[in-house]
């Protein structure tokens, strides 16, 4: 049984943070969202598109179903209230939620593992390091 059973609408703040999964956003917005995600999940996918970024939970197997459950937990709502969650494979068999219609891929991407919750500042530094971005926080 989920802590959020019967809750049919997402937490507004979590819903705001989750928008950077679908819409390329400034790094500070993605870092804030990933920071919240690291409270409960350790595998995160991040990609860079020009000067914008997106993120997703990363799971090993099961296609969109684990993504649906994790997304509902992040949004603090009952998973049965969510509509289908799209997914695609990246890296060595990881499933992420970022699904594009176009053929243009990201400029850079990384799978990040967090051993404990990370602050937005820590996430930003980690993304800059992993994606080899030469600017200052």
Helix axes 64-75, 12-22, angle to 10 degrees: 140
Q: What is the mean pLDDT of each run of 10 residues along the chain (137 residues)?
A: 79 96 96 97 95 94 82 92 80 84 82 97 97 76
The confidence score (pLDDT) of residue 78 equals 92
Q: What is the pTM of this model?
A: 0.90
How far apart CA 91 and CA 27 sit, in angstroms, is 22
Is 4 inside a domain boundary? no
Tell me how many domains the chain contains.
1
How far apart CA 6 and CA 55 sit, in angstroms, is 27
Is 6 inside a domain boundary? no
Is 137 inside a domain boundary? no
Q: Can you give the residue range of the structural domain that contains 80?
A: 12-130
């Amino acid at each position: 049984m989920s802590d959020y059973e019967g809750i049919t609408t997402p937490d507004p703040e979590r819903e705001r943070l989750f928008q950077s999964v679908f819409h390329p956003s400034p790094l500070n917005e993605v870092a804030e969202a990933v920071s919240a995600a690291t409270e409960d999940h350790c595998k995160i996918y991040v990609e860079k598109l020009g000067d914008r970024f997106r993120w997703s939970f990363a799971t090993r197997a099961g296609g969109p179903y684990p993504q649906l459950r994790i997304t509902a937990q992040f949004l603090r709502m009952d998973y049965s209230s969510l509509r289908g969650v799209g997914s695609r494979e990246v890296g060595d068999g990881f499933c992420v939620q970022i699904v594009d219609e176009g053929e243009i891929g990201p400029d850079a991407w990384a799978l990040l593992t967090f051993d404990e919750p990370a602050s937005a500042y820590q996430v930003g530094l980690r993304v800059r390091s992993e994606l080899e971005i030469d600017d200052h926080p």
